[in-house]
């Protein structure tokens, strides 16, 4: 299958939002989606974009996406790329779109002189984990993701 990877543009916002909703459904997290198209568009394509998106296409149809942003490694003293979301439509899985998106991200990581490409995966998502192992990704077993949001985030902010 011939997969074409391109950078998303503002006109893709509906497609990106639909992919996010489909991903949330797949991950059994649809109840956690709070973002709407307008907020997403402001943060992806507004005056200060906070993330970037790649779109995977086959025969001029969007079949997947990758949303990513830069982070920074103090130990490396270099930026990195963090892949927030990678999703391929169920009917298009197994044809290489996910790997093509990851390969493009790897190339961007190198072109931008970044030290690494990182992401998280749900521990039950065996098909994705198998793909990641096949391309050489390693789990960071000594690290646990921490999150501060909602009331706890507001309380800490008020304590400053």
Write the pLDDT tens digit of every residue in 80-129. Answer: 999 999 999 999 998 899 999 999 999 999 999 999 999 999 999 999 99
pLDDT of residue 94: 87
Q: In this predicted structure, which of 39-48, 107-116, 139-148 has the lowest mean pLDDT? A: 139-148
β-bridge partners, 69: 82
Other C-beta atoms lying within 10 Å of the C-beta of residue 152: 10
Q: For this structure, is 132 an active site residue? A: yes
Q: What's this model's pTM, rounded to 2 decimal places?
A: 0.93
Domains of the chain: 4-159 (3.40.630.30)
CB-CB contact of 55 with 92 (8 Å): no
Q: Which two tokens stand for residue 72?
A: 């920074």
The runs of H, that is alpha helices, within 27-78 are: 37-45
Q: Which of 132, 135, 143, 145 is catalytic?
A: 132
Mean pLDDT computed over 14-39: 96
pLDDT of residue 13: 98
Q: Cα separation of 59 and 103, whole Å?
A: 20
């Amino acid at each position: 299958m011939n997969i074409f990877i391109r950078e998303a543009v503002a006109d893709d916002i509906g497609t990106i939002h639909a992919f996010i909703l489909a991903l949330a459904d797949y991950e059994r997290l649809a109840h956690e989606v709070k973002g709407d198209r307008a907020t997403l568009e402001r943060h992806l394509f507004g005056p200060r974009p906070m993330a970037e998106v790649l779109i995977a296409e086959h025969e001029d149809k969007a079949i997947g996406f990758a949303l990513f942003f830069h982070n920074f490694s103090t130990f490396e003293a270099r930026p990195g790329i963090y892949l927030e979301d990678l999703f391929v439509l169920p009917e298009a899985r197994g044809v290489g779109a996910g790997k093509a998106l990851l390969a493009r991200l790897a190339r961007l990581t190198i072109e931008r002189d970044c030290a690494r490409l990182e992401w998280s995966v749900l521990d039950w998502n065996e098909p994705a984990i198998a793909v990641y192992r096949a391309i050489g990704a390693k789990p960071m077993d000594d690290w646990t993701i921490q999150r501060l949001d909602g009331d706890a985030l507001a309380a800490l902010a008020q304590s400053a």
